[in-house]
Amino acid sequence: MILADKIIEERKKNGWSQEELAEKLDVSRQSVSKWESAQSVPDLKKVIKLAEIFNVSTDYLLKESYDKEDTKDNDKVVLEKTPSQTEKICIVNMEEASEYVSFQEKNAHPFALAVALCITSPVILLVLLGLSHLKKIGLSENFAIGIGITVLFFMVAGAVFVFVKYGTMMSKFEYLKKTTIETAYGIDDMVKDKKKKFAKTYSMSITVGVVLCILSALPLIVTSLITKNEMIILFMVGLLLVVIAVAVYLFVKVSLINECYNILLQEGDYTKEKKREYALEEKIGSLYWCIVTSIYLAWSFTTMSWHRTWIIWPIAGVFYSVIMAVVNIMKKEN
């Protein structure tokens, strides 16, 4: 149980409202509200005052796993290894951590949606081409292509706008990914609590996304076996892209949120050791995906075979995993 939960529990045990507790501590109700929502942490004087008011020990309030009746090992001193003097350490306070978590939780949706827009950007072009060939609309093939490409560029431009805006706003938090950090009291407990509550959503979203990716090609495969009509196949390719876009949206959204928890806790891909490797992987990744995107667009616009060129993305994903595996092996050997 973290400090925020203990304040709530003790306040309710005594039958006090937030206003009544605030009066006893000579603080505002908003301060108590922020403590209880883990947005901020009371200073040492207030913690001592809370202990007196609640008739508990400060150890009970400050230590997550400390029991009220547990008085054993109070004098034990835990020694931690200190980082080397040459290693840069950044201290993160509660306000910074809360701001970062709120930013990621708020912006995960538009960022994921922008990624999905990029994937679905050729769909209108494919649909218009199919309809023009089937004579379902009064548009020539060239005019349909013109409209489709215009929509494609607008969708990509909108997505790029979101990416740039996100990147600009995210730049103030980049140090969290790259630098070894030390978090102030209460942050780890707050983030662990959020991550635990988010675990079910994360697991479900990843599962649904994987299932959608597996099923996405099914309509195209079945249609290809039933008919050779290229226009109907074009529609199925469009449907495939939409389904993949939904899956990718789920992947990106929950991954961004879960990633921010791992960054603050320095877990997963953001342990102190892996942060030292982050800079090299970031450069390789940026260069690789720029090249892949350039090849995809050049191939697609040259051949206008959008129903085939999408295959570059799963292939690129596999090759990227291989490249990063080789890089990691080489680093270990060195």
pLDDT given for residue 334 in this prediction? 57
What is the pLDDT at residue 205? Answer: 94
pLDDT at 81: 42
Average pLDDT for residues 74-86, to the nearest whole number? 40
Most confident of 144-153, 213-222, 244-253: 244-253
**Rounded-to-10 torsion of CA 18, 23, 25, 28:** 70
- Is the pLDDT higher at 150 or at 305? 150
What's the whole-number average pLDDT of the chain?
Answer: 80
Q: Which of 47-51, 287-291, 317-321 has the highest mean pLDDT?
A: 47-51
Span 241-247, mean pLDDT? 92
Closest listed residue to residue 201, CA positions, set 109, 132, 94: 109
pLDDT grade for 1, boundaries at 50, 70 and 90? low
CA distances for 21 relative to 27, 44, 158, angstroms: 9, 17, 49
Q: At which residue do the structure tokens 């060129």 appear? A: 309
State the amino acid at position 221 in one-letter form.
I
CA distance readout (Å), 33 to 1, 211, 254:
17, 42, 28
Q: What is the value of pTM for the model shown? A: 0.62
Q: 191 exposed, middle or buried (CB, 10 Å; 0-12, 13-18, 19+)? A: buried
CATH class entry, domain 3-62:
mainly alpha
Confidence category of residue 138, pLDDT binned at 50, 70, 90? low
Instruction: Tokens for 77, please give them.
Output: 């001193």
pLDDT(50) > 70: yes
Q: Residue 134 has what pLDDT?
A: 65
pLDDT bin (cut points 50, 70, 90) of residue 82 is very low
Percent over 90 (pLDDT), the chain: 22
Which is more confident, 33 or 138? 33
The structure tokens listed for 138 are 């009064």
Q: Is residue 87 over pLDDT 70? A: no
SS3 label, residue 183: strand
Distance CA 299, CA 294 (A): 8
Residue 277: the pLDDT is 62
Q: Which residue has the higher pLDDT, 88 or 43?
A: 43
Is 50 exceeded by the pLDDT of residue 85?
no
Note whether 267 and 194 are within 8 A (CB): no
Mean pLDDT of 24-48: 82
Name the residue with higher pLDDT: 230 or 232: 232
The CA-based diameter of the chain, rounded to the nearest angstrom, is: 85
The segment with the largest mean pLDDT, out of 33-47, 49-63, 90-104, 275-289, is 90-104
> Residue 259 burial (CB < 10 Å; 0-12/13-18/19+)?
middle
Contacts of 45 (CB under 8 A, 6+ apart): none
How many Cβ atoms are within 10 Å of 34's Cβ, its own excluded? 19
